[in-house]
């Protein structure tokens, strides 16, 4: 039986609890968000099959708990990630201040070639904003990484943010994909060696 994808890309979302990481993943992977959203315990996982630049891509989406007591559990997943989305809540300044902690974890535990993107989530809640867009832009500029303000509830910039980081991962690993003859999409053995079978169970958005 032919595989349904040519390439596997592994993305992980990190940030404080309640910044909307699970909602973002549900919106991107399933096209919907069911509220209220339960708190992630440890690590959760979803998949998205899509086409990016003509290639059939299976995107593994790892959802991490933001509570400090789970930090040692989530750290082991950093090194396997090819792309990391750093997420804060624009209505909660503390989640922005704490970004440096997550950046430190990336620097300590992730691969040197990992792609990063900064996300300011919940941008639909304009009256509750506590973090100006300019602060997010400056933080991203200092790290030389892309920045998006998103809304999982309104589906604003969700598809764009995930798709663009996937493209950057694919570009960085293009030589490896070419070595595996990815340009022949009908082959059944073109699964990228970069992709591993996930070990975390997949669950519904509201569980």
Q: What is the DSSP letter of 67?
A: S
Count of structural domains within the chain:
1
Asked if residue 142 is part of any domain, the answer here is: yes
Answer whether residue 196 is part of any domain.
no
- The helix-helix angle for 99-109 and 71-78 (nearest 10°) equals 50
Tell me the pLDDT of the chain (207 aa) as tens digits.
456 678 999 999 999 988 999 999 999 998 765 654 445 445 678 899 999 988 999 999 998 765 554 556 567 778 889 999 999 999 999 999 999 999 999 999 999 999 999 999 999 999 999 999 999 999 999 999 999 999 999 999 999 999 999 999 999 887 666 655 544 433 333 333 334 444 444 444 533
Triad 170, 175, 177: Cα angle to 5°? 60
pLDDT (0 to 100) of residue 2 = 53
Whole-prediction pTM value?
Answer: 0.80
> Is residue 189 in a domain?
no
Adjacent-strand bridge partners of 180: none
Position 79 scores a pLDDT of 86
Model pLDDT, residue 8? 93
| Amino acid 180: pLDDT | 52
Structure confidence at residue 128 (pLDDT): 98
Contact 133, 104 (CB under 8 A): no
Residue 152 lies in a domain: yes
- Neighbour-count burial for 24-62, b at 16+ CB within 10 Å, e otherwise: bbbbbbeeebeeebeebeebbbbebebebeebbbbbbbb
What's the chain's Rg over C-alpha atoms?
17
Q: Which two tokens stand for residue 116?
A: 């990063």
Report the pLDDT value the prediction gives residue 36, as an integer from 0 to 100.
Answer: 45
Q: How confident is the model at residue 30, as a pLDDT?
A: 86
The structure tokens listed for 192 are 């990228």
- CATH number of residue 19's parent domain: 3.40.50.300
Query: 78 is in which domain, residue-wise?
Result: 7-179
**Residue 33 domain flag:** yes
10: nearest Cα among 82, 70, 74: 82
Answer whether residue 123 is part of any domain: yes
Tell me, yes or no, whether 41 lies in a domain: yes
Residue 142 near residue 8, CB atoms below 8 Å: no
The answer as to whether 124 is a domain residue is yes
């Amino acid at each position: 039986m032919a595989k349904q994808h040519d390439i596997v890309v592994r993305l992980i979302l990190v940030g404080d609890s309640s910044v909307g990481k699970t909602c973002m993943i549900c919106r991107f992977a399933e096209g919907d968000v069911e509220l209220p959203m339960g708190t992630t315990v440890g690590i959760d996982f979803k998949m998205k099959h899509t086409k990016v630049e003509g290639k059939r891509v299976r995107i593994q989406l790892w959802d991490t708990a933001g509570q400090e007591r789970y930090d040692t559990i989530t750290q082991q997943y950093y090194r396997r990630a090819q792309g990391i989305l750093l997420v804060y809540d624009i209505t909660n300044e503390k989640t922005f201040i704490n970004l440096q902690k997550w950046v430190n974890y990336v620097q300590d535990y992730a691969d040197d070639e990992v792609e990063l993107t900064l996300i300011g989530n919940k941008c639909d809640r304009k009256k509750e904003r506590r973090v100006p867009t300019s602060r997010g832009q400056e933080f991203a500029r200092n790290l030389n990484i892309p920045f998006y303000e998103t809304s999982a509830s309104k589906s604003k910039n969700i598809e764009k943010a995930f798709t663009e980081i996937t493209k950057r991962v694919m570009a960085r690993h293009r030589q490896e994909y070419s070595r595996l003859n990815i340009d022949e999409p009908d082959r059944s053995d073109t699964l990228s060696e970069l992709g591993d079978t996930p070990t975390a169970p997949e669950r519904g958005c509201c569980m």
